[in-house]
Amino acid sequence: MTGIKIRTKPQGDKTLVRLLIEHPMETGRRPDEQTGRPVPAHYITQLTVEHNGRPAVHGLLSTAVSRNPYFAFRLGNARPGDLIRIAWVDNLGQHASAEARIGEAGDG
Return the CATH number at 30.
2.60.40.10
CA distance 14 to 80: 11
88 in a structural domain: yes
107 in a structural domain: no
Count CA atoms within 13 Å of residue 12 on its CB side: 1
Give residue 55's pLDDT: 97
What is the number of domains present in the chain? 1
83 in a structural domain: yes
List of the chain residues with pLDDT < 70: 1-2, 104-108
CA distance 78 to 14: 6
43 in a structural domain: yes
- Domain range spanning residue 74? 4-101
pTM: 0.89
Give residue 2's pLDDT: 62
Phi, psi angle pair for 52, to nearest 5°: 55, 40
